[in-house]
Structure 1
Amino acid sequence: MQASHIDHVNLNVPADGKQPAREFYEQKLGFTIEDDLYEAGEKPFFDVRLSATGVVHLWPTDDFEPQAAVNYDHLCIVVEEDIETVKSQLTEAGVDIEKELDSPLGATGVAGAVYVRDPFGYRVELKSRV
């Protein structure tokens, strides 16, 4: 078996989480929210479109509880911009940078990265392309 990329990640969010997701992922980070099928009742989740080949499925649930255990650390999203541009865009959007690393090792090598929290408490690593 030989994998080429991650297709999607599933994350639970509060039942009323669509608007906070839109504000963070779309308005602040610049990704697209795809929710037509969710709104039409054809699927139980909506998507954050990261690229042509990758999405984050956000599953609204009445049973959502913010992350309390350490069994999940973060989701890493590779971005095309250099890390200084990413930091500038985050600051301009009012997103707090939790942590910055100059050279974290990832699937494709070492590149600068910053860590932020989404509105649901998930840590998101934004990593420059190697």
Structure 2
Amino acid sequence: MRARHIDHVNLRIPEDGADEAREFYGEQLGFGVEDALYAADEKPFFDVRLSATAVIHLWPTEEFEAPTKTNYDHVAVVVEESVDEIERELADAGAAVEKTLDSPLGATGEAGAVYVRDPFGYRVELKARV
């Protein structure tokens, strides 16, 4: 097999967490939220659009268990902005920065990254493009 890219990531969220997820991923991080089919009860999850070829599926469920250090670390998303721009946009949106690293290694090489936590405990790495 010759993998091309990650298509999607599935994350479980609390059953009543859809509004918080829309606020964090849509408003604070500025990603597109696609939830029309979810709102129409046509599918059990909604999407955070990262790019034309990648989404995060958010699955509201009553069986939600917050991630722990032993079962989850982070999902990394490459963005077009520099670390300074990422930090500025997060500050303007009221999102708390957990940490910033100068050059963590990723799939395409080393580049600066800013880490945030979503309302459910998932860490998201916003990685500057190499």
Q: Please give the range of the TM-score, normalised by the shorter of the 2 chains.
A: over 0.9
1:4 partner SS: coil
Structure 2 gap ranges (5+): none
For 2:28 and 2:74, how far apart are their aligned partners in 1? Answer: 18
Match of 2:3 in 1: 3
Aligned pair count reads: 130
Distance in 1 (alpha carbons) for counterparts of 2:91 and 2:39: 32
CA distance in 2, matches of 1:94, 1:128: 20
Matched residue SS, 2:90: helix
Partner of 2:71: 71
Runs of 5+ consecutive residues of structure 1 not aligned to the other structure: none
The 2-side partners of 1:69 and 1:53 are apart by: 29
Identical amino acids, percent of aligned pairs: 66
The answer on 1:113 being equivalent to 2:117 is no
- 1:14: which partner in 2? 14
1:68 shift after superposition: 2.8
- Tell me how far apart the structure 2 counterparts of residues 40 and 97 of structure 1 sit (CA, whole Å): 34
Quote the residue 1:25 is aligned against: 25
Q: How far apart, CA to CA, are the structure 1 residues paired with 2:76 and 2:123?
A: 9
CA distance in 1 between partners of 2:119 and 2:76 (Å):
16
Q: Does 1:58 align with 2:48?
A: no
Q: Aligned-pair RMSD on alpha carbons? A: 0.8
Q: How many Å apart are 1:69 and its aligned residue? A: 4.4
Please name the residue that 1:95 is paired with.
95
Amino acid at match of 1:54: A
Partner of 1:126: 126
CA distance in structure 2 between the aligned counterparts of 1:78 and 1:23, rounded to whole angstroms = 20
TM-score when normalising by structure 2 = 0.97
State how far apart, in whole Å, the 2-side matches of 1:93 and 1:39 are: 25
Deviation at 1:66, TM superposition (A): 1.1
- Is the counterpart of residue 81 in structure 1 residue 81 in structure 2? yes
Choose 65-74 or 16-25, whichever is displaced more.
65-74
